[in-house]
Structure 1
């Protein structure tokens, strides 16, 4: 996948897709790490008034996925997520949530990424996330 590995390029890449619609902004892209944030808005809340778990997972999954793209091995074409897991430890009703994803394993056929989602103002952990991605290569 040929996308420059900069926050601006990833923000443009996702602008018309789910990350853009949810307001996710990529802040940092570096080897084995990606950071982003998302403002808490009414459309990201569950009917009970708290942040919807799906909104949190989308932020974490976007960070891990973009991290994978920026760390694809030579000759790889793309990736697909084969497993994800999240543990939700808190929530937010306003403000901004932040996420930092870090590579745990950057293999030739799989990558594993951990992501921590926090309340930006308080630093309180909202969720811990792990996903495994399968690296895709062009057909020979």
Structure 2
């Protein structure tokens, strides 16, 4: 998938991936690739929030796809909505190189341990 992590923390995680290699047969960014980017960023941030000796597992993910991307990179920014003792929720916004929103996703992780 070519995902590159740019920033990692419990409140915010940022990463990007190339459109090339993550497309539908029509050449558009695959919606599933956007969700992979979103869930990866939210899960990593939730793991950092959980702390040492604990784990984070996704229990719900949803996504709305707003526009297509054909080239360049898409960047995802996961922002904490809720950081609790047993769950963590994130809104993940995926944008194209022009800064236009491609996808909005929401992820909830259960914190284990």
TM-score grouping bracket, smaller chain normalisation: over 0.9
Q: Which has the higher helix share?
A: 1
Q: Output one character per residue of 1:37-61: Cα deviation in whole Å (capped at 9) or x when no partner.
A: 10111x3111122111011100111
Q: Output one character per residue of 1:63-99: Cα deviation in whole Å (capped at 9) or x when no partner.
A: 10111111115x7520211111000001111100001
Of 28-37 and 126-135, the range deviating more from structure 2: 28-37
Within a 5 Å distance, the mapping from 1:127-138 to structure 2 comes to 127-137=103-113
Q: Which runs of 5+ in 1 are unaligned?
A: 1-21
Of 85, 96, 104 in structure 1, the residue corresponding to residue 62 of structure 2 is 85
Partner of 1:123: 99
Q: Which runs of 4+ in 1 moved over 2 A?
A: none
Question: Cα distance, 1:30 vs. partner?
Answer: 3.1
Partner of 2:6: 27
Count of matched residue pairs: 113
Higher relative contact order (CA 8 A, sep 6+): 2
- Higher Cα Rg: structure 1 or 2? 1
Q: Which has the higher strand share?
A: 2
Distance 1:76 1:109 in 2: 14
Distance 2:87 2:49 in 1: 11
